[in-house]
Amino acid sequence: MSVTRSSVGEVEHDRCATTVVLHPVGQPEPASRPDGAGQERRWRRWAAPGALVAIAALALFLRVWQLDALGFNSDEAVYAGQAASLAGNPNYSPFFPVFRAHPMLFQTLLSPFFRTGEVDVAGRVVVAVLGVATVLAVHLLGARLYGRRVGLVAALLIAVMPYHVVVTRQVLLDGPMVLFATLTLYCLVRFVQAQQVLWYVAAGAMLGVTMLTKETSIVLAGGVYAFLALTPTVRRPVRMSVLALAPMVVVFATHPVSQALAGRTETGRSYLVWQLFRRPNHSMGFYVETVPVAMGLLVVTAAVGGLWWLRGRRSWRETLLVSWIAAPVVFFQLWPVKGFQYLLPAAAPVAVLAARALTALPVPERMGRLLRRAVRRPDARPSTAVRTVRTVRAAVIAVVTLSLLVPSWNAVNRANNATFLAGSGGVPGGREAGRWLAANTPEGSVVLTLGPSMANIIQYYGHRRSYGLSVSPNPLRRNPSYAPLPNPDWWLRHNDLQYVVWDSFSAGRSAFFSERLMVLIRRYHGRVVHTEHVDGTDSTGARVPVPVVIIYEVRP
């Protein structure tokens, strides 16, 4: 039996219910069993929280397992460096200015952990915990929209989704940002269901917090607008929208206000200009190639398929979730700058949609008959048929979960890799190279790296001033956060650079600058003083060490 309502009916229904529970298609009410009913109730009472705790534990495990295997990547180094500088850690203040391009909510949250010494794991643990909080928030969202079962399955999917697992193991803004984005979505759902202005205002404020974590999340406001535009049944008088918009602006104003109060008046204006006009860093097919795989092809298929096979139950909920997905996808697809983790806000609604689809997966009658025959009970009662459907769905959910768990497990165990995609994890050998420089080179040494990414890592772990060769001296062609080296040859000739670091990851991105760097190394008597390797295989399949970071000593 299917339960369908008109849009108006949906909203009216939601007003009267704290949690909306839609019964699955073709699923009768569960038969009551008088014997052991009390025990069953007790079990049911604890089953859902127990499952949620287990999911959270699994999520935490995946996010902290071998968390220290790789050092920071460039972005992590920058955010951690900002946090350390804000905390007054003398190791980082000379290298990482407190204010760079983004707002400081996350860095402020991190900074108490970075007051002294070299910290990296603690920062990642904070993000991992926020990642687990996102799993719980997704459960809340799913349960609020489609019931507890969907909430649990959605939480399970996001808990093991490689995309979310990988990003929330790194000190990046995107993990915390997705938590707040999911909470914004939750507030919005509460507003739609309750039509309570306070939830609308709370949604605005929470979106402000999301933007305080990473300002690009303002694109999610587009998702809200699209949803409201496509859902006329939701009341949205102008004054109510203004009321919701005001806290968003006020909350985001914390960023410029705190900067001004701290003595810095410049904001990330020049950074925004550069982002607007910089050249694309990836092809137009980048997201299609990377994100569905990272989210899980079965999950994406389920989310999309569910929209089709549950089209009869279409409501404002799907409109909201699809709008929330579409806003960042459309924006970042058109935006020239692409980053692996930029579409992470879409992960939560995709997981909810997939969970909705999987928990209501249509099981063909023929398959039911086959299953009953397989268990040699063709004359089984209807309750057995229901159980069979449930079993099929549970099996499918298990397969989908496993299809996420395996790549996630591989990802968290992949410490030795000669390839690297920005945002997808730590940089093999980077931390070790930095630490080697800190331990084996005189204080005050200056390092030339191939690109700014390795320069950030060297500065974080090596505490040595580093410059990226590929940073353009043209202010229109470089990230304003990076310091260019207008004439590296002159610097080398005058002994202002004492070490050169080549890394295979940057070299893979720019053969031109790799060759330029090698020319300088040869010209200035480059001598290899340290090499970082990862395990690789040669043409015969034998294991060979592959150099990923090479440190040269140079002199005029």
Partner 1 sequence: MTDPTRPCGSRAGRLVTRALLITCLLALANPAAAAHAAPRTAAPPSPTTPIDHFVFLMQENHTFDNYFGTRPGVDGIPAGTCMPVRRGQAEPCVKPFHLGELGSLDLDHTAEAFRVQHNGGRMDGFVEGVSTQGKDGNLAMAYYDDRDLPYYWNIADEYVLFDRFFSSSNSGSIRNHMFRVTGGPGATGASESIPKEGWGDIPTIFDRLEAAGISWKFYVENYDPTITYRSRSAEEDIDRGAQVIWVPLLAYARYVDDPRLFGKIVDLDEYYEDAAKGQLPAVSFIAPAGDSEHPPGSIRAGQNLVRTLLTQLMRSPNWNSSAFLWSYDDWGGWYDHVAPPQVDSYGYGFRVPALLVSPYARRGHVESTTLDFTSVLKFIEVNWRLKPLADRDRRAKTFLDAFDFDRPPRPAVLLSTERTPPVVTRPDPVPVYASYAVTGSLVAALVGAAALRRRRWT
Q: Which residues bind partner 1 (CB under 8 A)?
A: 15, 85-88, 93-94, 98-99, 104-105, 108-109, 111, 183, 187, 190, 194-202, 205-206, 208-209, 212, 240, 247, 251, 254, 257-259, 261-264, 441-446, 494-496, 498, 525, 527, 553, 555-556
The distance of closest approach from Cβ of residue 99 to partner 1 in the complex, given in angstroms and rounded to an integer, is 7
Rounded CA-CA distance 458/465 in Å is: 8
The angle subtended at Cα 207 by Cα 226 and Cα 251, nearest 5°, is: 135
Of 110 and 156, the one with the shorter C-beta distance to partner 1 is 110
The distance of closest approach from Cβ of residue 246 to partner 1 in the complex, given in angstroms and rounded to an integer, is 12
How would you class 475 by CB atoms within 10 Å of its CB: exposed for 0-12, middle for 13-18, buried for 19 or more?
exposed
The distance of closest approach from Cβ of residue 316 to partner 1 in the complex, given in angstroms and rounded to an integer, is 17
The distance of closest approach from Cβ of residue 74 to partner 1 in the complex, given in angstroms and rounded to an integer, is 21
Of 253 and 276, the one with the shorter C-beta distance to partner 1 is 253
Residue 83 in tokens: 């946090």
The distance of closest approach from Cβ of residue 28 to partner 1 in the complex, given in angstroms and rounded to an integer, is 33
Contact 354, 306 (CB under 8 A): yes
Of 58 and 188, the one with the shorter C-beta distance to partner 1 is 188
Of 94 and 508, the one with the shorter C-beta distance to partner 1 is 94
Rounded CA-CA distance 22/312 in Å is: 13
157: helix, coil or strand? helix
Contact 523, 514 (CB under 8 A): no
Of 256 and 547, the one with the shorter C-beta distance to partner 1 is 256
Residue 361 in tokens: 């997966």
Rounded CA-CA distance 178/131 in Å is: 8
Of 227, 188, 433, 419, nearest to 316 (Cα)? 227
Of 503, 495, 502, nearest to 444 (Cα)? 495
Contact 59, 86 (CB under 8 A): no
Of 388 and 445, the one with the shorter C-beta distance to partner 1 is 445
Of 85 and 170, the one with the shorter C-beta distance to partner 1 is 85
Of 444 and 541, the one with the shorter C-beta distance to partner 1 is 444
The distance of closest approach from Cβ of residue 313 to partner 1 in the complex, given in angstroms and rounded to an integer, is 25
The distance of closest approach from Cβ of residue 182 to partner 1 in the complex, given in angstroms and rounded to an integer, is 13
The distance of closest approach from Cβ of residue 521 to partner 1 in the complex, given in angstroms and rounded to an integer, is 15
Collect all residues with Cβ–Cβ distance below 8 Å to 163 and sequence separation of at least 6: 291, 294, 295, 296, 344, 347
Distance set, CA 392 to CA 354, 361, 365, 367, 377 (Å): 16, 9, 12, 9, 16
